[in-house]
Amino acid sequence: MSEIALDLRHLSKVYANGKVALEDVSLQVPAGTFYALLGPNGAGKSTLINMLADIVRPGGGTARLFGHDMFRERAWCKRHMGVVPQEVAFDPFFNPREVLKITSGMFGCKPDMAWIDELLDRLELREQERKTTRQLSGGMRRRLLVAQALVHKPPLVILDEPTAGVDVELRRRLWDFMRELNAAGTTILLTTHYLEEAEELCEHVTIIDRGRVGTDRPMRELMREVAGRYLWLSYGEGFVLTDADKEALAAFQPRSNGRGVCLTLRHAQGGFHEAYEAAVARFGPPQDAGVRQEDLEDVFIRLTRKDNLS
Ligand SMILES: Nc1ncnc2c1ncn2[C@@H]1O[C@H](COP(=O)(O)OP(=O)(O)OP(=O)(O)O)[C@@H](O)[C@H]1O
Ligand SMILES: [Mg+2]
């Protein structure tokens, strides 16, 4: 399917206090994609999501959901997307099941009790059924927010840090659930600071930084082309990397932490033997050695570093 689920063009937002939160942000999310929207704190992710969710007043630009104008056809768009906002806010006097029934009503649907049961099961809220939202823990509330966003079975789900404060085991189970939804055809736009989560789940990544799109590419391509591989060799306390060593090993951009040396491997595959031999020729056999592959977190830090080196 080549249909575009979410088509955002030239979005901008200046808050009333003059803060420029988004500047000319464009991105397209093809239907069926599991899409990561990443960025450091304050990058503008929630501003963008809240604009789409009608929580923040739109600035400039256009947004289309399956071809429908998100700023003009609000009712249609609300029925066709589910948003988990970053901020948790509930009416404190309802229990989880009531919240889900009321939310269904707000979307103009008759509550689908079988689906509500499934959501309560899958998000492990069954045991909380007798509690009001006020009595739920932070992680439980967040899970209820996820359930709420899914109650009307929307074809696009936007998740703004859905797993913040959710414990490790449940987070894993939430991922499985999101993966299943995506496999069944739901398009998912995910914002998270757990980059391991984004790397594992998402097939495309857009990084925004200070209100602008920096990186926008398929996850696999980013990891193949930008993630580095390193060979580290330990030689014990007191190891010194001299200028002469640096020059001799310049091809591997050597770095030292005072206990050994770290060499950059040039190619996605291979390069290990050359680097290892070069180090042994210079320093002798190491006490220990290993190869480290950069993960999305390393790449992200490099791409969003304040001095903008990449
Ligand atoms: N209501 C507001 N009024 C003025 N400035 C705001 C408002 N809301 C957010 N901002 C500012 O806009 C910028 C973007 O904030 P936003 O919440 O969109 O970032 P974010 O990418 O979601 O960050 P985080 O990862 O911390 O959630 C920040 O500088 C923030 O201080
Ligand atoms: Mg945010």
pLDDT, averaged per 10 consecutive residues of the chain (310 residues), comes to 87 95 97 97 95 93 96 94 85 86 84 93 88 87 91 95 87 91 96 93 96 95 87 95 95 92 76 92 96 90 71
Judge whether 306 lies within some domain.
no
240 and 195 assigned to the same domain:
no
Residues 220 and 258 in one domain: no
Check whether residue 216 and residue 237 sit in a common domain. no
Residue 114 shares a structural domain with residue 203: yes
Residue 11 sits in the same domain as residue 65? yes
Atom of ligand 1 nearest to the CA of 161: 27
Q: Which of 33, 16, 18, 32 is nearest to 219 (CA)?
A: 33
For residues 186 and 275, state if they share a domain: no
* 50 CB near ligand 1 (under 6 Å): no
Pair 280, 153 in one domain: no
Owning domain of residue 277: 228-293
Report CA(43)–ligand 1 centroid distance (Å). Answer: 7
Residue 212 and residue 83 share a domain: yes
Whether residue 305 is contained in a domain is answered as: no
Residues 61 and 181 grouped into a single domain = yes
In a domain, 42, yes or no: yes
Residue 194 has what pLDDT?
A: 92
Last residue of a domain, one of 224, 239, 261: 224
Ligand 1, atom 1: nearest CA belongs to which residue? 15
Q: Clarify whether residues 42 and 128 are in a common domain.
A: yes
Same domain, 214 and 269: no
Q: 19 CB less than 6 Å from ligand 1?
A: yes
The confidence score (pLDDT) of residue 151 equals: 94
Question: Going by CA atoms, what residue is nearest to atom 10 of ligand 1?
Answer: 21
In a domain, 307, yes or no: no
> Residue 10: what pLDDT?
97
Q: Is the CB of 46 under 6 A from ligand 1?
A: yes
pLDDT of residue 85: 87
What are the CB-based long-range contacts (under 8 Å, 24+) for 174-178? 174/123, 174/143, 174/146, 175/200, 175/201, 177/122, 177/123, 178/34
Q: List, as ranges, residues with CB under 5 A of the ion ligand 2.
A: 45-46, 86
pLDDT at 310: 40
Confidence at residue 14, expressed as pLDDT on a 0 to 100 scale: 97
Are both 220 and 238 inside the same structural domain? no
Which residue minimizes the CA distance to atom 19 of ligand 1? 42
Q: What is the pLDDT of residue 2?
A: 52
pLDDT the model gives residue 309:
43
Residue 309 lies in a domain: no
Cβ atoms within 10 Å of 10's Cβ, excluding its own:
14
How many structural domains is the chain composed of? Answer: 2
Nearest protein CA to atom 24 of ligand 1, as residue: 41
Q: How high is the pLDDT of residue 103?
A: 87
